Amino acid sequence: MPYVVRRPDRNLWEQSYVPETVRGLGVTLRHFFRNVFGRRDTVTLLYPEQRRPYPPRFRGLHRLTQRDDGAPRCTACLCCQTACPAECIHIVAGEYPPEHPLAHVEKYPVEFWIDELRCVSCGLCVEACPCDAIRMDTGLHPRPVEARPHLIYERNLLLSISDTAGNVHTANPRKK
């Protein structure tokens, strides 16, 4: 819809430009002198010497949790892969052989890939997991790498990452 753009009405003092510029510079200088010589109230941190603590629910890099015996808690149900909106999870399921001590678990991930480049850190995989096998409580960002494939994390790497307190295990929620 067309409408008339109203120009601001400026008086001579404002229209002459220079006094207003000096006034604006004054505001900047006031803040400058206050922060350099007076009371400091800047929000800037001297990263990386100073770091801001992350909130406890910060969603960092994924990790796969372990059972008490070190095996993956994951049963390869593919719920995370289903929930993932970025389609960055790829799992190949396998079956424990009958003589394996975990034969009663039946299913496990032979391969578990997360493409951290595609991940949008939404946390839906963590919510979808029925076994508490995938978490994003590591407090880590993906490391900078030199080649894209290095950010496609595989099963054993994901299993080795711990949470901020150093834990790699989770309990079976159904046994509680």
Partner 1 sequence: MRKLTIDGREIEVAEGTTVIAAARALGIDIPHFCWHPELSVAANCRMCLVEVEKQPKLQPSCQLEAADGMVVHTDTPKVREARRAMMEYLLLNHPVDCPICDQAGECKLQDYYMLYDLKASRLWSEEGKVRKRKRAIFGPHVIYDAERCVMCTRCVRFCAEVVRDPVLIEVHRGDHSEIAVAPGRTLDHAYSLMTAHVCPVGALTSRDFRFQCRVWFLASTPTICPGCATGCNAFLDHHRGEAFRLRPRENPALNRSWLCDDGVLAFRLHNDHRLTAPELGRGDDARPVAWDEALAEAATLLRKVPKTQRAAVLSAEHSCEENWALAAFAREALGVERFFVTGRTAGTADDLLRHADKNPNRAGVRSMLGAEPEPLERLVDEATAGSIRGAVALGAAAATQGPAAAAGLLRLEALVSIAPRRGPLPEAAHVRLPSPSFAETAGTYVNARGQAQEFPQAMSPRGEALEVPDLLARLARRLDLGLPFRSAADVRAAVAPRLPRPAAEGGAP
| Contacts to partner 1 by CB under 8 A | 75-79, 82, 93-95, 98, 103-107, 130-131, 174-175
What is the C-alpha to C-alpha distance for residues 99 and 92, in angstroms, rounded to an integer? 21
Determine the residue type at 18: V
169-to-44, 105, 145 alpha-carbon distances in Å? 37, 17, 27
Cβ at position 149, least distance to partner 1 in Å? 21
Cβ at position 148, least distance to partner 1 in Å? 21
Q: Which is nearer to partner 1, 93 or 152 (CB)?
A: 93
Q: Which is nearer to partner 1, 61 or 159 (CB)?
A: 159
DSSP structure string for 101-157 = TTGGG-EEEEEEEEETTT-----HHHHH-TTS-EE-TT--PPPP-SSGGGGEE-HHH
Cβ at position 88, least distance to partner 1 in Å? 15
Q: Which is nearer to partner 1, 60 or 109 (CB)?
A: 109
What is the C-alpha to C-alpha distance for residues 139 and 78, in angstroms, rounded to an integer? 24
Cβ at position 5, least distance to partner 1 in Å? 54
Q: Which is nearer to partner 1, 93 or 122 (CB)?
A: 93
Q: Which is nearer to partner 1, 24 or 130 (CB)?
A: 130
Cβ at position 124, least distance to partner 1 in Å? 15
**Which residues fall within 8 angstroms of residue 67, CB to CB, at 6 or more apart?**
73, 102, 169, 172
